[in-house]
Structure 1
Amino acid sequence: MQLAKQAQNANGTLQIVTNARVTQTVKLVRLEKFLSLQTTVDAALENIQTP
């Protein structure tokens, strides 16, 4: 969560590559609004915003 906050403070997002089980757990504790969950490295790279 600290890394996600630091990324947000720098006007960025933290791309996290997960599997279905991890995604389910993150959603269960309602952290998906703070974390950018991706299923593949390629998807995470596509979502990186360049300044």
Structure 2
Amino acid sequence: MQLAKQAQTAGGTLQIVSNARVTQTVKLVRLEKFLALQPSVDMALENIK
């Protein structure tokens, strides 16, 4: 969360590559609003271009 906050302060986002289990857990604790979860490295890279 600290890295996500630092990225947001700098005007960016922290792209996190996760599998379905991690994504489900993040949504369970309602952190998906703060974290940019991506299913693959390619998708994460595409979102930072």
TM range (shorter): over 0.9
CA deviations 1:8-43 (Å, max 9, x no partner) are 000000000000000000000000000000000000
Q: Which amino acid aligns with 2:9?
A: N
**TM-score normalised by length of structure 2:** 0.98
- Equivalent residues, number: 49
Q: Which amino acid aligns with 1:8?
A: Q
Q: State the match for 1:18 in structure 2.
A: 18
Q: For 1:33, what is the secondary structure of its paired residue?
A: coil
Structure 1 residue ranges without an equivalent (≥5) = none
CA RMSD of aligned residues (A): 0.6
Structure 2 residue ranges without an equivalent (≥5) = none
Determine the C-alpha separation between the residues in 1 that align with 2:19 and 2:7.
Answer: 22
Q: Which amino acid aligns with 1:32?
A: E
Give every structure 1 segment of 4 or more consecutive aligned residues whose post-TM-superposition deviation is greater than 4 Å: none
Q: For 1:34, what is the secondary structure of its paired residue?
A: coil
**TM-score normalised by length of structure 1:** 0.94
